Amino acid sequence: MTDLSPRLQRVADQIQRELAMLIQLEIDDPRIGMVSVMAVDISRDLAHANVYVTVMNSGSGEKSEQQESSEANGELDRLEIKENIKALNKAAGYLRSLLAKRLRLRTTPKLQFHYDSSVIRGQQLSSLIDEAIAADRDLHS
């Protein structure tokens, strides 16, 4: 994210909160699953906002023993993420109009949705750290 003035940061935070509620309550697209709005990066002139979201899907929580099935799950997860982002970008105009009604701004930014993979990367790093600790413990036992 860019270095924003305190006012722009407050506007970005307000847009993040409002979008989280609007996506959950107002969007009836079956392609959009459980989506979490992680951050909003807004331009200085309030014309554009990049919205970073994560997709919480049911398939990623299940662990399988076979490498092939986990690769297939990963591919399904990627397809599901792409569909969610595509559906959100298609609904961006509608969400913008709802935002304009809720926020008291002269201009409401144009929304562009992006996938934020930081949660998944954090989980992967955490599992690598756990594996390293377990290997070290086995080595010293």
- How many residues in the chain? 141
- Which residue segments constitute the domains of the chain, with CATH numbers given? 6-116 (3.30.300.20)
**63: helix, coil or strand?**
coil
Instruction: Write out pLDDT tens, residues 52-103.
Output: 999 886 444 444 344 445 566 667 688 888 999 999 999 999 999 999 999 9
Are 53 and 37 in contact by the 8 Å Cβ rule? The answer is: yes
Mean pLDDT to the nearest integer, 17-28: 92
Rounded Cα distance, 109 and 12, in Å: 10
Q: DSSP string of 5-49?
A: -HHHHHHHHHHHHHHHHHHHHH---TT--EEEEEEEEE-TTSSEE
